[in-house]
Amino acid sequence: MAKKKTYFMCQECGHESIKWVGKCPGCHQFNTMVEEIKTKNDNSHLNLSKDIKIYNINTIASDEKSRIKTGSTELDRVLGGGLVAGSLVLLGGDPGIGKSTLLLQSAHSISERKKTYYLSGEESPQQIKLRASRLGVSSKNLYVLSETDIDMLTHLVEREPPQVLIVDSIQTVFKSSLESAPGSVAQVRECTNTLMKLAKKSGIPIFIVGHVTKEGGIAGPRVLEHMVDTVLYFEGDRHQSFRILRGVKNRFGSTNEIGVYEMVQEGLREVLNPSELFLSQRPIEGPGSIATASMEGTRPILVEIQGLITATNFSTPRRMTNGVDYNRVSLLMAVLEKRVGLFLNNHDAFVNVAGGVKIEEPAVDLAISLAIASSFKEKPINKHWLAIGEVGLTGEVRSVNQIDQRLKEGQKLGFDKALIPHNKNIPDLDGIKVYPIKTVQEGINIVLGGD
């Protein structure tokens, strides 16, 4: 009998090695190499005489209206308008963040119009029923499965096809022809490949849940995210009620949109006006606090930027950020020292975005700079101020896109004064007074009445 050939594959990055090593050469993680069995490719079953269909791009019908609505406005927004037929959607997030809750609630809404299968390899049908009762899920077209063999699932779907399929999670299903354990790199890759072929062949949209590693990435080989059509991340602090649904890959829509949810006793509740929620607990008067407007896709979101500057006795001051890029804050502090004259080199600095939101766009630079200056000078900023603008290395305030939409969102929430970059097209809105500025120094003088 021929001896089976084995190799070792990293569970984190998918790096292959002919022998076991304690430290992966690819991602430098320890104890992640797992033995796999190398299977020989056999093409004898292929029918090479079969005609291959070729389509002209202009003859292919495409109906944007055929998207399936999930019943969740926020989820539909992130997906680009709803589920596309035959799409494979991967949802990742930390344990206990609410992935299963979100999909079970969505399955309830979808099953009111479409036959839906919910496969769970982590919970029994009785456990799912307990959670469904708490969430108020009771649709007649929602069917629960606990089968984890991917071949049995494929056979069932082909025999009694649903209109939507949810697999929770991809790390629990397995292919019986592979001898490796469920959740291994080989099993995750092959099971995802099987589900992808099933979705494209049958036209059934499929949701799959993916576990994440301690670094925050989806567990399994990196090729997993390349195989699926859409990758969604469910983010948030488990100690807070807010949850952010963010798309990092979407073949059928934008990746700039986010969905905002609030975790309550009855499950996840959509937050249709995130700006009002994030600013609801803002202090009336306090140094180091100012509001800004960030664009998340097509929707402006107002958030509170908080800064705390305190003197330190240590030679190396601390710099800590939450929700904004650490290096960006360090750059802005250097600009404030050089261009404005704020001596921060012997002060600890802490910058936070209230509500657990992560903001990456440079349009919040001006707000971060003003929050730091306000805390350093111990001068509060009036709560009706809104600051929007990017800050350059020479201290100039540069223009940002979609300034009109940002100001209109601020106007809705009662802001009547706004600092914006100086340019030729200054918006004129009733109810909000605009102060165009060219430098950070000008903004500090206007807001804090510079010394």
What are the binding residues for ATP? 93-100
Please give the structure tokens belonging to residue 225.
């995210």
CA–CA separation, 336 and 312 (whole Å): 18
Phi, psi torsion values for 405, nearest 5 degrees: -65, -40
CA 177 to chain centre: 34
Query: In the chain, helix, strand, coil percent, each to 5?
Result: 30, 25, 45
Report residue 251 as tokens. Answer: 């073949």
What number of other Cβ atoms are within 10 A of residue 135's Cβ?
A: 16
The DSSP code sequence of 33-53 is EEEEEPPPP--TT--TTSPPP
The type of residue at 74 is E
Which residues are paired to 249 by β-bridges? 231
Calculate the CA 242 to chain-centre distance. 13
Residue 35: alpha-carbon gap to chain centroid: 32
- Asked if 119 contacts 107 with a C-beta cutoff of 8 angstroms, the reply is no
In the chain, the amino acid numbered 339 is: R
Strand 299-311: give its sheet, edge to edge.
319-322, 347-353, 299-311, 289-296, 385-387, 417-421, 433-437
Number of H helices, E strands in the chain: 11, 21
Angle at 87 between CA 36 and CA 120, to 5 degrees: 60
**Binding region:** 93-100
249 touches 210 (CB < 8 A) = no
CA distances from 425 to 97, 181, 293, 400 (A): 44, 62, 19, 12
Which positions ≥6 away from 435 have C-beta within 8 Å? 417, 418, 419, 420, 446
Whole-angstrom Cα distance, residue 347 to residue 410? 32
